[in-house]
A and B are shown apart, each in its own frame.
Chain A
Amino acid sequence: MSDDDALGPDMHPLLGFLESTPPAAGQDLLERLLDGRLDPADAPSSYGELTRLLAAATAPATPEELTGEQAALAEFRALMPARPPTLVPRRAAMPSKLLTAKAALAALVAVLSIGGVAAAATGLLPGQVRPVAEQAPPTTAAARGLGKAAVADLDNATQGLCRAWQAGKGSDNGSRADASAFQALTAAAGGPEKVAGYCADVTAGSVGDHGQGQASAVGPDATAAARAGLCRAWQAGGGTDNGSQADASAFQALATAAGGADNIAGYCADVTAGSVGDHGQGQTSPPSGSRPSTPVSPPSSGPPPGAGPGGHGQGGSPTTTG
Protein backbone atom coordinates (compact mmCIF):
# COMPACT_ATOMS: atom_id res chain seq x y z
CA MET A 1 0.00 0.00 0.00
CA SER A 2 1.61 3.16 -1.12
CA ASP A 3 -0.20 5.14 1.52
CA ASP A 4 2.10 3.66 4.10
CA ASP A 5 5.11 5.14 2.40
CA ALA A 6 3.39 8.46 2.15
CA LEU A 7 2.60 8.34 5.85
CA GLY A 8 6.13 7.50 6.83
CA PRO A 9 7.55 11.01 7.06
CA ASP A 10 4.51 12.12 8.98
CA MET A 11 4.80 9.55 11.70
CA HIS A 12 7.03 11.34 14.15
CA PRO A 13 5.13 14.58 14.21
CA LEU A 14 1.93 12.58 14.44
CA LEU A 15 2.97 10.55 17.44
CA GLY A 16 4.20 13.66 19.12
CA PHE A 17 0.86 15.25 18.47
CA LEU A 18 -0.98 12.30 19.89
CA GLU A 19 1.03 12.26 23.06
CA SER A 20 0.43 15.89 23.87
CA THR A 21 -2.70 17.91 24.26
CA PRO A 22 -3.99 18.49 20.77
CA PRO A 23 -4.69 21.96 19.49
CA ALA A 24 -8.26 23.12 19.09
CA ALA A 25 -8.15 22.41 15.39
CA GLY A 26 -7.50 18.76 16.21
CA GLN A 27 -10.57 18.62 18.39
CA ASP A 28 -12.65 20.15 15.65
CA LEU A 29 -11.33 17.55 13.26
CA LEU A 30 -12.19 14.78 15.72
CA GLU A 31 -15.72 16.10 16.09
CA ARG A 32 -16.12 16.11 12.33
CA LEU A 33 -14.86 12.54 12.26
CA LEU A 34 -17.35 11.54 14.95
CA ASP A 35 -20.16 13.24 13.09
CA GLY A 36 -19.22 11.52 9.87
CA ARG A 37 -18.71 14.92 8.29
CA LEU A 38 -15.09 14.36 7.32
CA ASP A 39 -14.66 12.99 3.85
CA PRO A 40 -11.77 10.51 3.84
CA ALA A 41 -10.42 12.32 0.80
CA ASP A 42 -10.24 15.53 2.82
CA ALA A 43 -8.66 13.96 5.87
CA PRO A 44 -5.09 14.94 6.61
CA SER A 45 -2.69 12.07 6.12
CA SER A 46 -2.20 11.72 9.86
CA TYR A 47 -5.90 10.88 10.18
CA GLY A 48 -6.00 8.65 7.16
CA GLU A 49 -6.09 5.28 8.89
CA LEU A 50 -8.52 6.43 11.52
CA THR A 51 -10.82 7.81 8.86
CA ARG A 52 -10.71 4.51 7.03
CA LEU A 53 -11.46 2.66 10.26
CA LEU A 54 -14.55 4.73 10.90
CA ALA A 55 -15.62 4.42 7.28
CA ALA A 56 -15.36 0.65 7.57
CA ALA A 57 -17.33 0.70 10.81
CA THR A 58 -20.15 2.64 9.15
CA ALA A 59 -20.13 0.85 5.82
CA PRO A 60 -23.52 0.05 4.27
CA ALA A 61 -25.48 -2.74 5.87
CA THR A 62 -24.71 -6.28 4.86
CA PRO A 63 -27.37 -8.96 4.27
CA GLU A 64 -26.09 -10.80 7.35
CA GLU A 65 -27.00 -7.85 9.49
CA LEU A 66 -30.60 -8.05 8.35
CA THR A 67 -31.13 -11.76 8.88
CA GLY A 68 -33.14 -11.18 12.03
CA GLU A 69 -35.93 -9.40 10.23
CA GLN A 70 -38.42 -12.24 10.17
CA ALA A 71 -37.91 -12.93 13.86
CA ALA A 72 -38.37 -9.25 14.63
CA LEU A 73 -41.55 -9.13 12.60
CA ALA A 74 -42.82 -12.21 14.41
CA GLU A 75 -42.27 -10.39 17.69
CA PHE A 76 -44.06 -7.40 16.30
CA ARG A 77 -47.05 -9.53 15.30
CA ALA A 78 -47.13 -11.13 18.71
CA LEU A 79 -46.89 -7.94 20.68
CA MET A 80 -48.86 -5.58 18.48
CA PRO A 81 -51.73 -7.59 17.07
CA ALA A 82 -53.22 -5.36 14.41
CA ARG A 83 -55.50 -8.10 13.20
CA PRO A 84 -57.44 -10.62 15.24
CA PRO A 85 -54.91 -13.28 16.14
CA THR A 86 -55.50 -16.80 14.96
CA LEU A 87 -56.33 -18.71 18.08
CA VAL A 88 -54.93 -22.21 18.18
CA PRO A 89 -54.60 -23.53 21.72
CA ARG A 90 -51.22 -25.10 22.23
CA ARG A 91 -50.83 -24.97 25.96
CA ALA A 92 -49.39 -28.42 26.27
CA ALA A 93 -46.66 -27.54 23.83
CA MET A 94 -45.39 -24.62 25.87
CA PRO A 95 -45.13 -25.68 29.49
CA SER A 96 -42.29 -23.35 30.40
CA LYS A 97 -43.96 -20.34 28.89
CA LEU A 98 -47.19 -21.21 30.57
CA LEU A 99 -45.34 -21.54 33.81
CA THR A 100 -43.97 -18.07 33.39
CA ALA A 101 -47.39 -16.82 32.50
CA LYS A 102 -48.82 -18.49 35.55
CA ALA A 103 -46.26 -16.84 37.73
CA ALA A 104 -47.21 -13.51 36.27
CA LEU A 105 -50.87 -14.29 36.74
CA ALA A 106 -50.13 -15.22 40.32
CA ALA A 107 -48.55 -11.83 40.71
CA LEU A 108 -51.66 -10.26 39.28
CA VAL A 109 -53.89 -12.10 41.71
CA ALA A 110 -51.57 -11.46 44.62
CA VAL A 111 -51.37 -7.78 43.93
CA LEU A 112 -55.10 -7.54 43.53
CA SER A 113 -55.71 -9.30 46.81
CA ILE A 114 -53.23 -7.01 48.50
CA GLY A 115 -54.88 -4.02 47.00
CA GLY A 116 -58.08 -4.80 48.79
CA VAL A 117 -59.12 -1.19 48.74
CA ALA A 118 -59.19 -1.22 45.00
CA ALA A 119 -61.10 -4.45 44.82
CA ALA A 120 -63.59 -3.26 47.41
CA ALA A 121 -64.08 -0.06 45.50
CA THR A 122 -65.17 -1.99 42.47
CA GLY A 123 -67.21 -4.46 44.43
CA LEU A 124 -65.28 -7.38 43.05
CA LEU A 125 -63.27 -10.12 44.56
CA PRO A 126 -59.53 -10.20 43.98
CA GLY A 127 -59.72 -13.23 41.78
CA GLN A 128 -62.08 -11.62 39.35
CA VAL A 129 -59.40 -10.39 37.10
CA ARG A 130 -61.25 -9.37 34.01
CA PRO A 131 -64.01 -7.19 35.38
CA VAL A 132 -61.54 -5.24 37.50
CA ALA A 133 -59.19 -4.92 34.63
CA GLU A 134 -61.82 -3.70 32.27
CA GLN A 135 -62.69 -0.91 34.59
CA ALA A 136 -59.18 0.28 34.88
CA PRO A 137 -57.70 1.37 31.60
CA PRO A 138 -54.88 3.66 32.63
CA THR A 139 -56.06 6.77 30.89
CA THR A 140 -59.59 6.83 32.18
CA ALA A 141 -59.50 5.27 35.60
CA ALA A 142 -58.67 8.47 37.40
CA ALA A 143 -61.46 10.31 35.68
CA ARG A 144 -63.90 7.66 36.76
CA GLY A 145 -62.91 8.07 40.34
CA LEU A 146 -61.69 4.53 40.57
CA GLY A 147 -59.05 4.07 43.21
CA LYS A 148 -55.74 4.93 41.74
CA ALA A 149 -54.26 2.01 43.56
CA ALA A 150 -56.20 -0.22 41.25
CA VAL A 151 -54.60 1.41 38.30
CA ALA A 152 -51.19 0.94 39.80
CA ASP A 153 -51.92 -2.62 40.80
CA LEU A 154 -52.92 -3.52 37.32
CA ASP A 155 -50.01 -1.63 35.93
CA ASN A 156 -47.69 -3.75 38.00
CA ALA A 157 -49.35 -7.03 37.23
CA THR A 158 -49.62 -6.29 33.57
CA GLN A 159 -45.95 -5.51 33.47
CA GLY A 160 -45.41 -9.00 34.77
CA LEU A 161 -47.55 -10.38 32.02
CA CYS A 162 -45.75 -8.43 29.36
CA ARG A 163 -42.45 -9.57 30.79
CA ALA A 164 -43.63 -13.13 30.74
CA TRP A 165 -44.59 -12.66 27.15
CA GLN A 166 -41.17 -11.33 26.34
CA ALA A 167 -39.42 -14.02 28.34
CA GLY A 168 -41.04 -16.65 26.20
CA LYS A 169 -40.21 -15.02 22.92
CA GLY A 170 -39.10 -17.18 20.09
CA SER A 171 -40.76 -19.95 18.21
CA ASP A 172 -44.46 -19.83 18.83
CA ASN A 173 -45.53 -16.29 19.34
CA GLY A 174 -48.77 -16.90 17.56
CA SER A 175 -49.98 -19.32 20.14
CA ARG A 176 -48.90 -17.26 23.07
CA ALA A 177 -52.00 -15.14 22.86
CA ASP A 178 -54.00 -18.21 23.74
CA ALA A 179 -52.46 -18.92 27.08
CA SER A 180 -55.01 -18.16 29.72
CA ALA A 181 -52.79 -15.63 31.44
CA PHE A 182 -52.43 -13.66 28.27
CA GLN A 183 -56.15 -13.76 27.75
CA ALA A 184 -56.31 -11.93 31.02
CA LEU A 185 -53.91 -9.43 29.53
CA THR A 186 -56.19 -9.09 26.54
CA ALA A 187 -59.11 -8.56 28.84
CA ALA A 188 -57.20 -6.00 30.84
CA ALA A 189 -56.50 -4.09 27.69
CA GLY A 190 -60.13 -4.18 26.69
CA GLY A 191 -59.66 -6.31 23.61
CA PRO A 192 -56.98 -7.99 21.57
CA GLU A 193 -56.40 -4.97 19.40
CA LYS A 194 -55.73 -2.86 22.46
CA VAL A 195 -53.13 -5.09 24.09
CA ALA A 196 -50.25 -3.44 22.38
CA GLY A 197 -51.08 0.06 23.50
CA TYR A 198 -51.94 -1.05 26.97
CA CYS A 199 -48.80 -3.11 27.26
CA ALA A 200 -46.75 -0.24 25.91
CA ASP A 201 -48.09 2.04 28.61
CA VAL A 202 -47.21 -0.19 31.48
CA THR A 203 -43.91 -1.50 30.28
CA ALA A 204 -42.82 2.02 29.57
CA GLY A 205 -42.77 2.43 33.31
CA SER A 206 -45.82 4.52 33.91
CA VAL A 207 -49.44 5.04 33.25
CA GLY A 208 -50.38 8.53 32.28
CA ASP A 209 -51.67 9.82 35.56
CA HIS A 210 -49.01 8.63 37.95
CA GLY A 211 -47.67 12.11 38.32
CA GLN A 212 -50.78 13.02 40.21
CA GLY A 213 -51.80 9.56 41.22
CA GLN A 214 -48.95 8.41 43.34
CA ALA A 215 -49.97 10.50 46.30
CA SER A 216 -53.00 8.34 46.88
CA ALA A 217 -51.64 5.06 45.61
CA VAL A 218 -51.46 2.39 48.24
CA GLY A 219 -50.42 -1.18 48.56
CA PRO A 220 -47.13 -2.99 48.70
CA ASP A 221 -45.22 -2.76 45.48
CA ALA A 222 -48.38 -1.57 43.88
CA THR A 223 -47.18 1.67 42.42
CA ALA A 224 -44.74 2.27 39.69
CA ALA A 225 -42.91 4.51 42.11
CA ALA A 226 -42.59 1.77 44.66
CA ARG A 227 -41.47 -0.60 41.98
CA ALA A 228 -38.80 1.83 40.96
CA GLY A 229 -37.79 2.13 44.58
CA LEU A 230 -37.44 -1.60 44.90
CA CYS A 231 -35.49 -1.68 41.69
CA ARG A 232 -33.14 1.01 42.86
CA ALA A 233 -32.58 -0.85 46.07
CA TRP A 234 -31.86 -3.90 44.02
CA GLN A 235 -29.49 -2.08 41.73
CA ALA A 236 -27.72 -0.48 44.67
CA GLY A 237 -26.82 -3.95 45.86
CA GLY A 238 -25.82 -5.07 42.40
CA GLY A 239 -22.45 -6.65 41.87
CA THR A 240 -22.13 -7.96 45.38
CA ASP A 241 -24.83 -10.41 46.21
CA ASN A 242 -27.67 -10.14 43.77
CA GLY A 243 -28.03 -13.85 43.89
CA SER A 244 -28.97 -13.86 47.51
CA GLN A 245 -30.91 -10.66 47.18
CA ALA A 246 -33.52 -12.54 45.26
CA ASP A 247 -34.27 -14.50 48.39
CA ALA A 248 -34.86 -11.53 50.58
CA SER A 249 -38.54 -11.13 51.17
CA ALA A 250 -38.46 -7.54 50.06
CA PHE A 251 -37.34 -8.59 46.64
CA GLN A 252 -39.60 -11.56 46.23
CA ALA A 253 -42.39 -9.40 44.96
CA LEU A 254 -39.93 -7.83 42.58
CA ALA A 255 -38.80 -11.20 41.36
CA THR A 256 -42.39 -12.21 40.85
CA ALA A 257 -43.16 -9.10 38.91
CA ALA A 258 -40.05 -9.58 36.83
CA GLY A 259 -40.98 -13.15 36.06
CA GLY A 260 -38.10 -14.64 37.99
CA ALA A 261 -35.04 -13.63 39.91
CA ASP A 262 -32.91 -13.84 36.80
CA ASN A 263 -35.05 -11.30 35.04
CA ILE A 264 -34.87 -8.62 37.70
CA ALA A 265 -31.92 -6.79 36.26
CA GLY A 266 -33.50 -6.27 32.88
CA TYR A 267 -36.85 -5.57 34.40
CA CYS A 268 -35.43 -2.95 36.68
CA ALA A 269 -33.43 -1.27 33.97
CA ASP A 270 -36.65 -0.50 32.18
CA VAL A 271 -38.65 0.33 35.26
CA THR A 272 -36.17 2.80 36.66
CA ALA A 273 -35.44 4.35 33.30
CA GLY A 274 -39.09 4.82 32.57
CA SER A 275 -39.95 6.15 35.97
CA VAL A 276 -37.40 8.91 35.87
CA GLY A 277 -38.92 10.52 32.86
CA ASP A 278 -42.52 9.86 33.67
CA HIS A 279 -43.09 10.86 37.23
CA GLY A 280 -43.94 14.27 38.43
CA GLN A 281 -40.81 14.97 40.40
CA GLY A 282 -38.60 14.45 37.43
CA GLN A 283 -40.18 17.33 35.63
CA THR A 284 -38.55 19.98 37.74
CA SER A 285 -35.24 19.41 36.05
CA PRO A 286 -35.72 17.83 32.68
CA PRO A 287 -32.45 16.71 31.18
CA SER A 288 -31.48 19.40 28.76
CA GLY A 289 -30.53 17.55 25.68
CA SER A 290 -29.07 19.14 22.64
CA ARG A 291 -32.39 18.97 20.90
CA PRO A 292 -35.01 20.86 22.82
CA SER A 293 -37.31 20.48 19.83
CA THR A 294 -37.88 16.87 20.80
CA PRO A 295 -41.34 17.07 22.28
CA VAL A 296 -41.44 14.25 24.76
CA SER A 297 -38.92 11.83 26.07
CA PRO A 298 -39.30 8.36 24.64
CA PRO A 299 -40.70 5.79 27.02
CA SER A 300 -37.55 4.17 28.24
CA SER A 301 -35.02 6.81 27.47
CA GLY A 302 -34.80 8.62 30.74
CA PRO A 303 -31.42 9.26 32.24
CA PRO A 304 -29.85 6.22 33.82
CA PRO A 305 -30.49 5.35 37.45
CA GLY A 306 -29.30 8.07 39.72
CA ALA A 307 -29.73 10.83 37.21
CA GLY A 308 -33.12 11.83 38.48
CA PRO A 309 -35.28 11.58 41.55
CA GLY A 310 -37.84 9.47 39.73
CA GLY A 311 -39.49 6.94 41.92
CA HIS A 312 -37.46 7.45 45.03
CA GLY A 313 -40.13 9.43 46.78
CA GLN A 314 -42.53 6.55 47.08
CA GLY A 315 -39.93 3.85 46.98
CA GLY A 316 -39.65 3.50 50.70
CA SER A 317 -43.23 2.58 51.35
CA PRO A 318 -43.76 -0.78 49.73
CA THR A 319 -44.46 -2.56 52.97
CA THR A 320 -46.55 -0.06 54.82
CA THR A 321 -49.86 -1.65 54.06
CA GLY A 322 -51.04 -5.06 53.32
Chain B
Amino acid sequence: MLGPSFPELLAAAQGGDEQAFAVLWRDLQPALLRYLRVAAPEAAEDLAADTWVSVICGLGRFRGDERAFRAWVFTVARHRAIDWRRQAARRPTNLVPGEQLAERPAPDDPVAQVLEAQSTQAALALLAELPPDQAEVVALRVLGGLEVGEVARIVGKRPGAVRVLAHRGLRRLAKRLEAAGLARGVTR
Protein backbone atom coordinates (compact mmCIF):
# COMPACT_ATOMS: atom_id res chain seq x y z
CA MET B 1 0.00 0.00 0.00
CA LEU B 2 1.25 3.44 -0.91
CA GLY B 3 -0.71 5.39 1.66
CA PRO B 4 -0.79 9.20 1.61
CA SER B 5 1.12 9.45 -1.65
CA PHE B 6 -1.53 7.49 -3.55
CA PRO B 7 -3.89 10.31 -4.61
CA GLU B 8 -1.05 12.30 -6.08
CA LEU B 9 0.40 9.28 -7.85
CA LEU B 10 -2.97 8.32 -9.23
CA ALA B 11 -3.64 11.81 -10.53
CA ALA B 12 -0.23 11.94 -12.15
CA ALA B 13 -0.67 8.53 -13.73
CA GLN B 14 -4.08 9.57 -15.01
CA GLY B 15 -2.38 12.53 -16.60
CA GLY B 16 0.01 10.22 -18.39
CA ASP B 17 2.95 10.33 -15.98
CA GLU B 18 4.82 7.13 -16.66
CA GLN B 19 6.88 7.22 -13.49
CA ALA B 20 3.81 7.61 -11.34
CA PHE B 21 2.24 4.65 -13.06
CA ALA B 22 5.42 2.66 -12.48
CA VAL B 23 5.07 3.25 -8.75
CA LEU B 24 1.48 2.03 -8.81
CA TRP B 25 2.51 -0.97 -10.87
CA ARG B 26 5.40 -1.98 -8.62
CA ASP B 27 3.20 -1.66 -5.58
CA LEU B 28 0.44 -3.91 -6.91
CA GLN B 29 2.05 -6.26 -9.40
CA PRO B 30 3.52 -8.77 -6.92
CA ALA B 31 0.20 -9.20 -5.15
CA LEU B 32 -1.62 -9.35 -8.46
CA LEU B 33 0.73 -11.95 -9.83
CA ARG B 34 0.42 -14.07 -6.71
CA TYR B 35 -3.33 -13.90 -6.79
CA LEU B 36 -3.27 -15.05 -10.40
CA ARG B 37 -0.85 -17.86 -9.58
CA VAL B 38 -3.62 -19.16 -7.36
CA ALA B 39 -6.54 -18.33 -9.63
CA ALA B 40 -5.00 -19.40 -12.96
CA PRO B 41 -1.51 -20.76 -12.27
CA GLU B 42 -0.62 -21.68 -15.84
CA ALA B 43 -1.34 -18.23 -17.21
CA ALA B 44 -0.59 -15.92 -14.32
CA GLU B 45 2.01 -13.78 -16.06
CA ASP B 46 -0.04 -13.23 -19.19
CA LEU B 47 -3.20 -12.52 -17.26
CA ALA B 48 -1.40 -10.02 -15.08
CA ALA B 49 -0.23 -8.19 -18.20
CA ASP B 50 -3.75 -8.28 -19.62
CA THR B 51 -5.09 -6.95 -16.37
CA TRP B 52 -2.79 -3.96 -16.53
CA VAL B 53 -3.84 -3.18 -20.08
CA SER B 54 -7.45 -3.01 -18.91
CA VAL B 55 -6.45 -0.94 -15.92
CA ILE B 56 -4.53 1.50 -18.10
CA CYS B 57 -7.51 1.83 -20.41
CA GLY B 58 -9.84 2.55 -17.52
CA LEU B 59 -7.40 4.60 -15.50
CA GLY B 60 -8.54 7.98 -16.71
CA ARG B 61 -12.02 7.29 -15.53
CA PHE B 62 -11.18 5.78 -12.17
CA ARG B 63 -12.34 7.70 -9.12
CA GLY B 64 -11.62 6.45 -5.66
CA ASP B 65 -9.07 5.91 -2.97
CA GLU B 66 -6.28 3.39 -2.83
CA ARG B 67 -8.44 0.61 -1.42
CA ALA B 68 -10.94 1.11 -4.21
CA PHE B 69 -8.14 1.10 -6.76
CA ARG B 70 -6.81 -2.14 -5.37
CA ALA B 71 -10.24 -3.70 -5.38
CA TRP B 72 -10.77 -2.59 -8.97
CA VAL B 73 -7.48 -4.05 -10.16
CA PHE B 74 -8.30 -7.38 -8.55
CA THR B 75 -11.78 -7.28 -10.01
CA VAL B 76 -10.30 -6.95 -13.48
CA ALA B 77 -7.79 -9.71 -12.74
CA ARG B 78 -10.55 -12.00 -11.58
CA HIS B 79 -12.43 -11.44 -14.83
CA ARG B 80 -9.31 -12.31 -16.77
CA ALA B 81 -8.84 -15.48 -14.75
CA ILE B 82 -12.45 -16.50 -15.22
CA ASP B 83 -12.19 -15.94 -18.97
CA TRP B 84 -9.01 -17.93 -19.10
CA ARG B 85 -10.48 -20.85 -17.18
CA ARG B 86 -13.52 -20.80 -19.43
CA GLN B 87 -11.34 -20.98 -22.51
CA ALA B 88 -9.10 -23.59 -20.94
CA ALA B 89 -12.12 -25.77 -20.32
CA ARG B 90 -12.94 -25.62 -24.03
CA ARG B 91 -9.45 -26.47 -25.17
CA PRO B 92 -9.04 -30.03 -26.45
CA THR B 93 -6.04 -30.74 -24.25
CA ASN B 94 -7.56 -30.45 -20.84
CA LEU B 95 -5.26 -29.49 -18.06
CA VAL B 96 -5.30 -31.66 -15.01
CA PRO B 97 -7.50 -30.06 -12.38
CA GLY B 98 -5.79 -28.97 -9.20
CA GLU B 99 -7.68 -31.44 -7.07
CA GLN B 100 -6.25 -34.37 -8.98
CA LEU B 101 -2.79 -32.91 -8.88
CA ALA B 102 -3.05 -32.61 -5.13
CA GLU B 103 -3.45 -36.32 -4.73
CA ARG B 104 -0.41 -37.20 -6.75
CA PRO B 105 2.80 -37.50 -4.79
CA ALA B 106 4.88 -34.91 -6.57
CA PRO B 107 8.64 -34.94 -6.19
CA ASP B 108 8.54 -31.30 -5.20
CA ASP B 109 5.74 -31.55 -2.70
CA PRO B 110 4.63 -27.99 -1.91
CA VAL B 111 3.84 -28.96 1.65
CA ALA B 112 7.42 -29.97 2.27
CA GLN B 113 8.66 -26.83 0.58
CA VAL B 114 6.40 -24.65 2.67
CA LEU B 115 7.40 -26.37 5.87
CA GLU B 116 11.10 -26.40 5.16
CA ALA B 117 11.91 -23.51 2.89
CA GLN B 118 8.90 -21.25 3.46
CA SER B 119 8.79 -20.86 -0.30
CA THR B 120 6.33 -18.32 -1.63
CA GLN B 121 5.75 -20.29 -4.80
CA ALA B 122 5.06 -23.45 -2.83
CA ALA B 123 2.66 -21.58 -0.58
CA LEU B 124 0.77 -20.31 -3.61
CA ALA B 125 0.70 -23.78 -5.09
CA LEU B 126 -0.88 -25.06 -1.90
CA LEU B 127 -3.47 -22.30 -1.95
CA ALA B 128 -4.24 -23.17 -5.56
CA GLU B 129 -5.09 -26.70 -4.54
CA LEU B 130 -8.00 -25.56 -2.44
CA PRO B 131 -11.46 -25.88 -3.93
CA PRO B 132 -11.74 -22.93 -6.32
CA ASP B 133 -14.25 -20.90 -4.35
CA GLN B 134 -12.20 -21.22 -1.19
CA ALA B 135 -8.94 -20.54 -2.99
CA GLU B 136 -10.36 -17.43 -4.59
CA VAL B 137 -11.58 -15.92 -1.35
CA VAL B 138 -8.47 -16.77 0.63
CA ALA B 139 -6.28 -15.39 -2.14
CA LEU B 140 -8.20 -12.13 -2.38
CA ARG B 141 -8.18 -11.71 1.39
CA VAL B 142 -4.57 -12.69 2.05
CA LEU B 143 -2.73 -11.90 -1.16
CA GLY B 144 -4.93 -9.06 -2.33
CA GLY B 145 -5.04 -7.56 1.13
CA LEU B 146 -8.75 -6.94 0.66
CA GLU B 147 -11.35 -6.80 3.40
CA VAL B 148 -14.33 -9.09 3.70
CA GLY B 149 -16.76 -6.54 2.28
CA GLU B 150 -14.49 -5.78 -0.66
CA VAL B 151 -14.05 -9.45 -1.48
CA ALA B 152 -17.80 -9.97 -1.14
CA ARG B 153 -18.40 -7.32 -3.77
CA ILE B 154 -15.78 -8.71 -6.08
CA VAL B 155 -17.01 -12.30 -6.00
CA GLY B 156 -20.70 -11.42 -5.76
CA LYS B 157 -21.32 -13.19 -2.49
CA ARG B 158 -22.52 -12.05 0.90
CA PRO B 159 -19.86 -11.13 3.45
CA GLY B 160 -20.95 -14.02 5.65
CA ALA B 161 -20.45 -16.46 2.82
CA VAL B 162 -17.02 -15.00 2.13
CA ARG B 163 -16.04 -15.49 5.76
CA VAL B 164 -17.23 -19.08 5.76
CA LEU B 165 -15.35 -19.91 2.55
CA ALA B 166 -12.16 -18.30 3.82
CA HIS B 167 -12.35 -20.12 7.14
CA ARG B 168 -12.97 -23.43 5.45
CA GLY B 169 -10.02 -22.83 3.18
CA LEU B 170 -7.73 -22.00 6.07
CA ARG B 171 -8.84 -25.01 8.09
CA ARG B 172 -8.29 -27.27 5.13
CA LEU B 173 -4.82 -25.86 4.67
CA ALA B 174 -4.05 -26.19 8.36
CA LYS B 175 -5.22 -29.78 8.32
CA ARG B 176 -3.02 -30.61 5.39
CA LEU B 177 0.01 -28.88 6.84
CA GLU B 178 -0.39 -30.44 10.23
CA ALA B 179 -0.90 -33.89 8.76
CA ALA B 180 2.24 -33.46 6.71
CA GLY B 181 4.13 -32.16 9.70
CA LEU B 182 2.97 -35.13 11.74
CA ALA B 183 4.01 -37.55 9.02
CA ARG B 184 7.39 -35.93 8.85
CA GLY B 185 7.73 -36.21 12.60
CA VAL B 186 6.89 -39.92 12.45
CA THR B 187 9.29 -40.77 9.67
CA ARG B 188 12.10 -38.90 11.31
Contact = CB atoms under 8 A, between A and B. Distances in A.
B99 interface: no
B133 interface: no
A204 B147 contact: no
Interface in B83-102: 83, 86-87, 89-90
Nearest to A34: B141
B142 A54 contact: yes
Contacts, number: 256
Contacts of A69: 22, 25-26, 29
Contact of A201 (B60, B69, B153, B163): B60
B83 A269 contact: yes
Interface stretch (A79-87, A122-130, A143-151, A175-183): A79-87
Contacts of A50: 170, 173-174, 177
B77 to A, nearest CB: 10
Contact of B60 (A22, A62, A80, A293): A80
B114 A52 contact: yes
A93 interface: no
B142 A36 contact: yes
Interface residues of B, number: 86
B170 A200 contact: no
B57 A203 contact: yes
B180 to A, nearest CB: 8
Contact of A306 (B80, B156, B170, B184): B156
B64 A82 contact: no
A71 B156 contact: no
Interface string A41-56: 0000011011011111
B43 interface: no
Contacts of B45: 68
A304 B151 CA distance: 12
A75 B56 CA distance: 8
B132 interface: no
A300 B59 contact: no
A15 B175 contact: yes
Interface string A238-264: 110011000000000000000000000
A22 B48 contact: no
A73 B21 contact: yes
B9 to A, nearest CB: 13
B72 interface: yes
A201 B63 CA distance: 12
Contact of A30 (B122, B126, B170): B170
A291 B58 contact: no
A127 B175 CA distance: 65
Contacts of A166: 50, 53-54, 57
A300 B79 contact: yes
A243 B91 CA distance: 11
26 contacts: A4-B188, A14-B174, A31-B148, A34-B138, A34-B170, A49-B178, A49-B181, A53-B114, A61-B26, A80-B21, A82-B16, A82-B18, A166-B57, A196-B16, A197-B60, A200-B61, A200-B62, A238-B86, A265-B86, A270-B79, A287-B153, A291-B67, A295-B63, A298-B58, A299-B58, A301-B76
Interface of A: 1, 4-5, 7-8, 11, 14-15, 18, 22, 27, 30-31, 33-36, 46-47, 49-50, 52-59, 61-62, 65-66, 68-69, 71-73, 75-77, 79-83, 162, 166, 169, 193, 196-197, 199-201, 203-204, 238-239, 242-243, 265-266, 269-270, 273, 287-291, 293-301, 303-304, 306-307
